[in-house]
Amino acid sequence: MLDRITPPDFKLIGRTNLFRPESYTLSNSIPLFVFNLNQAELIKLEWVFKIQDWDPTYPLDTISAAKLMDDGTRTRTSASIIEEIDFYGSYFQIHVQADTISLELFSLRKYLSQTLPIIRDVLTEANFPESEIEVFALNNVQRLQVESQKVQKLGSKLYYASLFGNSHRYGYAETIKDYKALERNRILETYQETFYSGNCTLIASGKISQEDIKTLEDVFGKEAWGIKPNKRPSLSKPGMEYPKPGYRFQEMQAASQSAIKIGKTLVLKSHPDFPYLQILNTVLGGYFGSRLMSNIREDKGYTYGIGSSVQSLQEAGFFTISTEVKAESTQDTLKEIQKEVMLLQTELISDQELGLVKNFIRGSFLGSLENAFSYADKFKGVYFHGLDYGYYDRLFEAIDGASPKMLRELAGKYWDWNSFHTIIVGKE
Q: Which positions from 259 through 318 interact with other proteins, judged by CB under 8 A?
A: 287-289, 297-304
- Kindly state the DSSP code that residue 300 receives in the 8-state scheme: T
Q: Please pick, from the candidates 24, 58, 88, 249, the single residue that binds other proteins as defined by CB under 8 A.
A: 88
Q: Please pick, from the candidates 34, 63, 85, 122, the single residue that binds other proteins as defined by CB under 8 A.
A: 85
* Closest distance of CB 139 from other proteins, Å: 4
Q: Does 87 bind other proteins (CB under 8 A)?
A: yes
Q: Does 355 bind other proteins (CB under 8 A)?
A: yes
What three-state secondary structure class fits 92? Answer: strand
Q: Which is nearer to other proteins, 66 or 85 (CB)?
A: 85
Rounded Cα–Cα distance for residues 311 and 278 (Å): 9
Binding mask 40-79 for other proteins (x = CB under 8 A): xxx-----------------------------------xx
Q: Does 8 bind other proteins (CB under 8 A)?
A: yes
* Closest distance of CB 226 from other proteins, Å: 25
Q: Which is nearer to other proteins, 297 or 408 (CB)?
A: 297
Stretch that binds other proteins, among 104-112, 186-194, 212-220, 269-277 (CB under 8 A): 104-112
Q: Which is nearer to other proteins, 313 or 372 (CB)?
A: 372
Q: Which is nearer to other proteins, 3 or 223 (CB)?
A: 3
Kindly report the backbone phi and psi dihedral angles of residue 265, in degrees, each rounded to the nearest multiple of 5, phi listed first. Answer: -75, 150
Site for other proteins in 179-238 (CB under 8 A): none
- Kindly state the DSSP code that residue 199 receives in the 8-state scheme: G
Give the helix ranges, DSSP H, for 181-256.
184-194, 210-216
Q: Does 151 bind other proteins (CB under 8 A)?
A: yes
Q: Does 11 bind other proteins (CB under 8 A)?
A: yes
199 by Cβ neighbours in 10 Å (0-12 / 13-18 / 19+) ranks as buried
Q: Are 372 and 37 in contact (CB under 8 A)?
A: yes
Strand order in the sheet with 42-50: 22-25, 31-36, 200-206, 42-50, 100-108, 91-96
Packing angle of the helix pair 404-414, 351-367 (nearest 10 deg): 80
Binding mask 318-337 for other proteins (x = CB under 8 A): ------xxx-----------
* Closest distance of CB 132 from other proteins, Å: 8
State the Cα angle at 213 between 212 and 214, rounded to 5°: 90
Q: Are 411 and 314 in contact (CB under 8 A)?
A: no
